Amino acid sequence: DAMVIQNPRYQVTQFGKPVTLSCSQTLNHNVMYWYQQKSSQAPKLLFHYYDKDFNNEADTPDNFQSRRPNTSFCFLDIRSPGLGDAAMYLCATSSKDRGFQPQHFGDGTRLSIL
């Protein structure tokens, strides 16, 4: 059974139209991460939540926001998507009790921009 679930698997949006990607977990892990991965590149960490504490990477554009209303759910909001934001978005979780390793990934959401 999937333990990190991302919805939707595929998302198409228009240039400049806000979009929200969701992630839920049944693992009760402390940390939830959002990564952006483009073709043939390493996953790039956008931000992560340690419990309720939000940690933004220095080079994450302001266009990207996140919300974590409870332990199980985390959302990625892209306020005004540009063509360069087309990518796979990966959610992952890890647990302090396990030394934060390994990270468990969801299936990803592939975002296309028209």
Partner 1 sequence: RKEVEQDPGPFNVPEGATVAFNCTYSNSASQSFFWYRQDCRKEPKLLMSVYSSGNEDGRFTAQLNRASQYISLLIRDSKLSDSATYLCVVNLPGDYKLSFGAGTTVTVRA
Binding site for partner 1 (CB under 8 A): 31, 33, 40-43, 45, 48, 50, 88, 90, 94, 96, 100-103, 105-108, 110
CB of 16 to partner 1, least distance (A): 26
State the DSSP string of 20-36: EEEEEESS--SEEEEEE
User: What's the CA gap between 108 and 86, in Å, rounded?
Assistant: 13
Q: How far is the CB of 97 from partner 1 (least distance, A)?
A: 12
32 within 8 A of 23, measured Cβ to Cβ: yes
Q: At closest approach, how far in Å is the CB of 37 from partner 1?
A: 9
Residue 97: CB atoms within 10 Å: 9
Question: In the complex with partner 1, which residue's Cβ is closer, 17 or 96?
Answer: 96
Instruction: Output 19 or 32, the one with its CB closest to partner 1.
Output: 32
